[in-house]
Amino acid sequence: MVNKSLYYFGFFLFLLALILLPIRGSADDGTFSFHAWGEISPFISGEAGSGSGAPDYRDVFNTGIGGGIEFSWRFCNRFSLLGGIGYENYNGKTHEDISFDDLKVIPLYLGGKFHFTPDNSRWNPYLKVDLGAAHLSSVDISYESLKGRYWDSSWVFLVEAGGGLEYRFGRWGIGLEVLPRYLGKPHSALGYPSKAEETWTVPVKLGLSFYF
């Protein structure tokens, strides 16, 4: 699984280089930006198992917290291309005396923005769409002295779409994003009982950008 993770990460970096490393001399000042953020996901929705009495994700995981980095290229007045990587942790809970380990998520994505205002505007409202993949950690469960694997680690499809608002001051910017997100199904390790649905979350991100 480590080798597979490195392969996906290397492929992501290759795609990111293709879209974000055009000839620098052909771009206007302020076209490129680096963005770092912290985030909170107030809930995670969907069924976390199958059969009678199966829990929902919100029954077995707490609010998610995390952060990430993103590089973008505003190649024209209204559109940007971007790529990013993040890390999220959802603390496990105890449901009907069964304790769940934490769920860790590493999203990798490429995306685009549509900007409502010109590049030199102080306020920057935009729409955003990201497509990519996310690595889900394995999750173990325990009941009294018994312990076992509930989900295997896996790579799943990711899509998120929403909007944001940024305030620019010189080469810096501070902004807020709200991005409803879909993630594919985790890989069951127990067969039918741990066969889960896809998940829906709504990450809320607060970040700082540097333009160069």
In a domain, 201, yes or no: yes
Q: What is the distance between the alpha carbons of residues 148 and 189, in angstroms, rounded to a whole number?
A: 9
Q: Is the pTM of this model over 0.95?
A: no
Q: Is residue 55 part of a domain?
A: yes
Number of domains in the chain: 1
Residue 27 has pLDDT above 50, yes or no: no
Question: CATH code at 97?
Answer: 2.40.160.20
Radius of gyration of the chain (CA): 19
Whether 46 is covered by a domain: the verdict is: yes
126-135 pLDDT, tens digit each: 999 999 999 9
pLDDT over threshold 50, residue 75? yes
**pLDDT of 180:** 97
* pLDDT on residue 161: 98
Q: For residue 154, give its domain range.
A: 2-14+31-211
Q: Would you say residue 4 has pLDDT above 80?
A: no
Is 180 within the bounds of a domain?
yes
Residue 2: the pLDDT is: 46
Residues with Cβ within 8 Å of residue 145, at least 6 apart in sequence: none
Beta carbons of 1 and 169 less than 8 angstroms apart: no
Which spans in the chain are helix H?
2-20, 57-60
Dump pLDDT digits (tens) for 146-205. Answer: 999 999 999 999 999 999 999 999 999 999 999 999 999 999 998 998 999 999 999 999
More reliable by pLDDT, 51 or 7: 51
pLDDT bracket for residue 144 (50, 70, 90): confident
pLDDT of residue 40: 97
Q: Is 20 domain-assigned?
A: no
Residue 20 in this model has a pLDDT that exceeds 60: no
The answer to whether the beta carbons of residues 82 and 111 sit under 8 Å apart is yes
Cα–Cα dist 88/206, whole Å: 14
Band (pLDDT 50/70/90 cuts) for residue 210 is very high
Q: Can you give the pLDDT at residue 31?
A: 81
Write down the pLDDT at residue 53. Answer: 82
Q: Is residue 19 part of a domain?
A: no
- Better-scored residue on pLDDT, 81 or 20: 81
Cα separations (Å) of 147 from 47, 67, 98, 144, 150? 21, 30, 10, 8, 9
DSSP E strands, 19-170: 32-41, 44-45, 61-73, 79-92, 94-95, 98-100, 103-115, 123-136, 139-143, 146-152, 154-169
DSSP 26-47: GSPTT-EEEEEEEEEE--EESB
* Residue 212 vs residue 137, higher pLDDT: 137
203 occurs within a structural domain: yes
Chain-centroid distance of CA 132 in Å reads: 9
- The gap from C-alpha 169 to its chain's centroid, in whole angstroms, comes to 27
> What is the average pLDDT score of the chain?
89
Residue of higher predicted confidence among 3 and 127? 127
Per-residue buried b or exposed e for 184-199, using 16+ beta carbons within 10 Å of the residue's own CB: bbbbbbeeeebbbbeb
Q: Does residue 25 lie in a domain region?
A: no
pLDDT given for residue 23 in this prediction: 45
d(CA 43, CA 69): 22
